[in-house]
Structure 1
């Protein structure tokens, strides 16, 4: 089979594998579009419709009394708050607002959120608290870490994760290490079964490298991307 390009850690990528990777990423994007459209219709759309009905009900005679009207307005405000929350969630799915705090702060937030949500100890360390990237690269690293941590929950059976961020010359290096059961199948090129194809594609678009160090006790994912174009 024809070889086309350099892949993770400098290895070559086969033409068929590249097509499969592109197809996989397109499926991820299409699934994400469907999910967001469904949430807009089912969640946001239904809430707005309910709000319209509730506001129109205020015209009824029974709400001419101040106490009844006040109670009804309180209920409507609760629905408004829930709708605002839904909108914020959708916006965060498209671009995490926490990225506005800076790269280091956003990754640290993600580590603490992961620990809080899953009960798995998660430590984040950065060599330089002032490390910054352009928005495109920062978003990729945020999403990559998000996917890597999701992978830990699904497969690693770990009780501790260590995340590191450092600058190495003209490159930025992000590492995610867990103390779980390891990923022996990766050595047999069954990387897809661990949901890492999307991660590899994101890093590849930035001319970066993605490396896996794994065994029977723990896995470390290492992402290296250029600081600039």
Structure 2
């Protein structure tokens, strides 16, 4: 291995990291949603035929969307959910889809402000990063948190986009190790001059994912100041 690759700076290594992250962030949530719905479907087959048929239609739609996302990941394109929607619309659609994947046992609310304001104030590259961070955070809530409620908040203050995702689940005990997903959230924010951290939510319960990113092109020198203390 060359010295550049051993330090993670060669183009081949960086492309491998990019592909690993995109496959995880783009395809992992889709697979998790399909598996979760399959489990619920198995229970409904004997208890509620009508609900089972509706869930099966959703499952087929999810599988088709998964294949579309797979092709977009390979082509290194932005998430399909952002096309024609903008960030606020994409996050609302993501919240609704994740809630349906749990059989509506998880209620996800959004506080995103005016939809067109986000699109006007936030550069596209930042929107893409924020969407991926939110998608990974929600996937962790669905898979690990055992939560009943989750809230997504986005606002822009003094040129900094502030994202928060807070649940009322079992806390960070559900995140026993720092895997690709948590690392990916941090690296996506850092690449744009921002930061992302995972902390305890409400006292005694829940997890809070917080990310701050410059709303405008970081190439112009923008950055989001890191929180003064680590928790």
CA RMSD of aligned residues (A): 3.3
Residues 184-215 of structure 1: CA distance to partner in whole angstroms, max 9, x if unpaired?
A: 598xxx76158411111111101112133306
> Does 2:144 align with 1:155?
yes
> Does 2:216 align with 1:228?
yes
TM-score by length of 2: 0.58
For the residue of structure 2 that corresponds to 1:122, the secondary structure is strand
Structure 1 counterpart of 2:81: 98
Structure 2 counterpart of 1:209: 195
For the residue of structure 1 that corresponds to 2:115, the secondary structure is coil
> Does 2:12 align with 1:29?
no
Is the Cα contact below 8 Å between 1:181 and 1:218 reproduced in 2?
yes
For the residue of structure 2 that corresponds to 1:210, the secondary structure is strand
For the residue of structure 2 that corresponds to 1:221, the secondary structure is strand
Change (3 A) 1:179 1:228: same
TM-score by length of 1: 0.59
| Deviation of 1:142 (Å) | 0.9
C-alpha distance in 2, partners of 1:179/1:24? 36
C-alpha distance in 1, partners of 2:185/2:144? 15
C-alpha distance in 2, partners of 1:33/1:191? 20
Is the Cα contact below 8 Å between 1:170 and 1:226 reproduced in 2?
yes
Structure 1 counterpart of 2:96: 112
| Structure 2 residue corresponding to 1:167, chosen from 156, 159, 162 | 156
Is the Cα contact below 8 Å between 2:144 and 2:174 reproduced in 1?
no
Residues 105-126 of structure 1: CA distance to partner in whole angstroms, max 9, x if unpaired?
A: 1111111111111231111111
| Deviation of 1:127 (Å) | 2.4
Show structure 2 runs of 5+ residues with no match. 1-6, 27-63, 218-231
For the residue of structure 1 that corresponds to 2:134, the secondary structure is helix
How many pairs align?
158
C-alpha distance in 2, partners of 1:98/1:139? 10
| Deviation of 1:135 (Å) | 2.0
Is the Cα contact below 8 Å between 1:121 and 1:159 reproduced in 2?
yes
For the residue of structure 2 that corresponds to 1:196, the secondary structure is helix
Residues 13-62 of structure 1: CA distance to partner in whole angstroms, max 9, x if unpaired?
A: xxxxx97xxx899457248669x9xxxxxxxxxxxxxxxxxxxxxxxxxx
